[in-house]
A and B are shown apart, each in its own frame.
Chain A
Amino acid sequence: MGWTARSVTTVLGHAVGGAVGGTLAATGAAVSLSAGIARDLAQSARSAARVTLPRPAPPPALGRGLHAATADVRDAGRRHLGPLVDAALSRVIAAVLARIDVAALIEEYVDVDRIARLLDVDAVAARLDVGRVVDRVDVDAIAAGLDLDTLVDRVDVRRVTDRVDLGAVVDRLDLDAIVARVDLDAVIDRLDLDAIVARVDLDRAAARLDVDPIIARAGIVELARYVIDEIDLAALIRTSTAAVSDEMVSSVRAQGVDADRAVERIVDRLLLRRTGRHEGAPGGRG
């Protein structure tokens, strides 16, 4: 089989030298190999015919017969050896490819960048059925395999937020519905109101207060009157000596007036007067 090894080496050399892809090169080499083998076999048959059928000056009729026999042999070899070569060819190619580092050959001899530049990626992309591709993608498996923590760590959140139109987002939000779902009591329970109030500058807030309307609404006069009534300020004042004396004087005077009236009525009755007193003409004699 030395001819076979030489042919393979030659064919591979031609194939690699032609700057064809790995698989295409191997296929071309195999085709060339089969052609070479067929050619060698035909040549061997012719040699064998020459060996087995020497032609030392054959007569013309015999020459024609030999020529026909040769053609028959050649034709039989072409018919019967072709399938044999085809059957052996696949095994030979597999054995050859198993011994060759095709990737290294491509890496060494193939300018992939140049080939890539020749490719019309837009046309390829236009022909892609992206929907089918996506349908075949197992997104769940991809998501399960993602390390989201690492991804999030690598994301520049500030740049992302700078590009977000928060105004438009807020305009589309139904804040009423969101607030309705918020448990404000729980939020308030979690708040440290004392700490919040301690941070508030109450003096400054009070300085900005307009107290006049508050006083106007508070009803200071009514409040003062109520307080005075509740503490019975008049009674307190009456407990003083002067107030007591005034009250005594007023009482004495009122009782004196009443006593005068009573006496006058009695006297008038005794005098059988039908009209009351103080009805005489001014300046008249009493």
Chain B
Amino acid sequence: MTHAEAGPFPWRVPPPPPDPPSPRVLAHGRPAGIVTRGAANLVDIVLVVLAVGLGYAGWVGLRFLLAPTSFRPTAPTYGWVLAAFALGLFVYWATAWAGPGRSKGAQLLGLRVTDRRGARLSPWRAAVRAALCVVFLPGLLWVLISRRNRSVQDVLLRTSVVYD
């Protein structure tokens, strides 16, 4: 019965059936694919780059405030930049996976890092996984091959990334 058929009391029309659940809801708890995991990592990397850049800008500004007369802008070497980026990414991933279980990129894409039982990672496992991911980021591509969507780091540390 539509509203037009309901006459003067259209609110007596029974509510329409709820929408069917989205694929996103149906995929809850299943291993995530390469696209979402890669996008999450990309978001995390961008965030870390921004954070490192802001950190460096803050450091430079602090130096200027402390000694404005002797301040000379210097460009950091590539090694320092890479090291700072790697360190920042390691710290960020380790704390995120050991804490809430997901970084901001994973949160945006709706992912969560767990162990094989679905529990949160222990701090050491999170730190090792973060280190492995920073050192060997292409290990993520193993997700394409793995039947259970596991990266190299997941295979080594018996972890999993699932849809949250």
**Residues of A in contact with B (beta carbons under 8 Å apart):** 219, 222-227, 249-250, 252-254, 256-261, 263-264, 267, 271, 273, 277-280, 282-286
Contacts and interface: CB of A to CB of B under 8 A. Distances in A.
User: Which of A261, A264, A273 has the most B CB atoms < 10 Å from its CB?
Assistant: A264
Given A260-B32, A286-B149, A286-B150, A226 B11 contact: yes
A278 B36 contact: no
Interface of B: 3, 9-13, 15, 22-24, 27, 30-36, 39, 108-110, 116, 142, 144-150, 154-155, 158, 163
Given A257-B23, A264-B33, A225 B11 contact: yes
Contact of B34 (A225, A253, A260): A260
A278 to B, nearest CB: 6
A278 B33 CA distance: 11
A250 B24 CA distance: 8
Given A260-B149, A285-B155, 14 more contacts: A222-B12, A225-B11, A226-B13, A249-B108, A252-B108, A253-B24, A259-B35, A260-B33, A264-B149, A267-B144, A267-B145, A278-B148, A280-B148, A286-B155
Contact of B12 (A219, A227, A250): A219
A258 B154 contact: no
A256 B109 contact: yes
Contacts of B109: 252-253, 256
Contacts of B32: 260
Is the contact region of chain A dominated by helix, strand, or loop, or is it mixed? helix
B22 A219 contact: no
A260 B3 CA distance: 41
A256 B116 contact: no
21 contacts: A226-B11, A250-B24, A253-B24, A253-B36, A256-B39, A256-B110, A257-B23, A257-B24, A257-B27, A258-B23, A260-B34, A260-B35, A260-B36, A261-B23, A261-B33, A263-B35, A264-B149, A277-B149, A278-B30, A280-B148, A286-B147
B112 to A, nearest CB: 12
Nearest to B151: A286
A270 to B, nearest CB: 9
A283 B150 CA distance: 11
B110 A253 contact: yes
A278 B12 contact: no
A259 B146 CA distance: 17
Given A283-B116, A286-B150, A286-B154, A254 B11 contact: no
A223 B15 CA distance: 11
A144 B149 CA distance: 121
User: Which of A222, A224, A286 has the most B CB atoms < 10 Å from its CB?
Assistant: A286
Contact of B36 (A223, A256, A277): A256
Contact of A284 (B22, B34, B148, B149): B148
Nearest to B9: A219
A283 B115 CA distance: 10
Contacts of B155: 285-286
B11 A263 contact: no
Nearest to A225: B15
Contact of A257 (B36, B142, B154, B158): B36
Contacts of B144: 263, 267
B71 to A, nearest CB: 40
Contacts of A263: 33-35, 144
Contacts of B35: 256, 259-260, 263
Contacts of B154: 286
